[in-house]
Structure 1
């Protein structure tokens, strides 16, 4: 027997229909904001070591490209508020770290010679953890086809739209 006190999540009600015609609460609306791109040198600093300097330069570029790719899409699709800046920053950081790990795996291989013989490259574990986190970010931001079903685009206050 179903628990009469337990309510269905809003997305489930929308998906399955609302035969009881009970009011469905709207989600929290936050004012839209123009988000400034973070300074990626805070996360990937300029260092003296030539190898690390090249890695950090590439990571900065990957994070910058991802920010510039994703922010306009999200601004149009779901609207962005100031509170979303940290989530987007972490998402771009995660993408850059995955790129770093994948490059390490491509150059040094999946297995490495260690003290006790062949062992797994540590980047495989790290990239796995970053990919798990990326999956969470993709869901939160609505960046996958299944995640987009739960989002509706922000409403404009235009009176020109005949479908209002």
Structure 2
């Protein structure tokens, strides 16, 4: 059963964003720092047809854009990469579905007559899943507004907020 109240934040997020209530910070599991390794996208998008090749390219570009910044800012490590893989796969499928829906149209003809294109239902499910992953990874605009730089002397060259 779910517990009431806000979801607990990871210890790194509490340290990064500040702890105005001075509540004890639960460290949780400590994983050694490691760079998330890109998966073989051909395992997630098998085949050599144009849609699969395009989905692989979309997932690769998204991974290359997000993995380094999430590793630096959120402390994402290789052992936690599955949520980012899931995000990339979901986004690639949404792109694939949008292209198919644009080409086929919103109405599909079947033996039973005209029906809603199945991609419409799939896209709604993928988007719902994408929203939960966005919240998990902290990629929404509202999550970005909650991240604020910590006060300091400003001499840190590796500060992600520079």
TM range (shorter): 0.7 to 0.9
* Kept in 2: contact 1:78–1:151 (CA 8 A): no
Shift in alpha-carbon separation, 1:33–1:100, aligned structure 2, 3 A: same
Uncovered stretches (5+) of structure 1, i.e. residues with no partner: 1-5, 48-52, 154-159
- Cross-structure match for 1:114: 110
Shift of 1:161: 3.5
* Contact 2:36-2:71 at 8 Å conserved across structures: no
Tell me which residue corresponds to 1:54.
Answer: 50
TM-score w.r.t. the length of structure 2 is: 0.74
* Selected match of 2:68 from 68, 72, 83: 72
> Which of 1 and 2 has greater Rg?
1
Offset, 1:82: 2.4
Residue 152 of structure 1: CA displacement? 7.4
Answer yes or no: is the 8 Å Cα contact 2:36–2:79 preserved in 1: no
Which residue of 1 is the match for residue 14 of structure 2? none
Counterpart-to-counterpart distance in 2, 1:40 and 1:9 = 32
Partner of 1:40: 41
Aligned to 2:24: 24
Question: How many Å apart are 1:10 and its aligned residue?
Answer: 5.3
Provide the C-alpha distance between the structure 2 equivalents of 1:135 and 1:38, rounded to a whole number of angstroms.
22
**Most deviating of 81-90 and 96-105:** 81-90
Quote how far apart the aligned CAs of 1:24 are.
2.8
Equivalence map 1:1-164=2 (5 Å)? 18=21, 23-28=23-28, 29-47=30-48, 53-148=49-144, 161=156
Long gaps (5+) in structure 2: 10-16, 150-154, 158-162
TM-score (norm 1): 0.73
Task: Give the number of aligned pairs.
Answer: 142
Tell which has more relative contact order, 1 or 2 (C-alpha 8 A, sep 6+). 2
Q: CA separation of 1:9/1:59 partners in 2, compared to 1, >3 Å: closer, same or farther?
A: closer
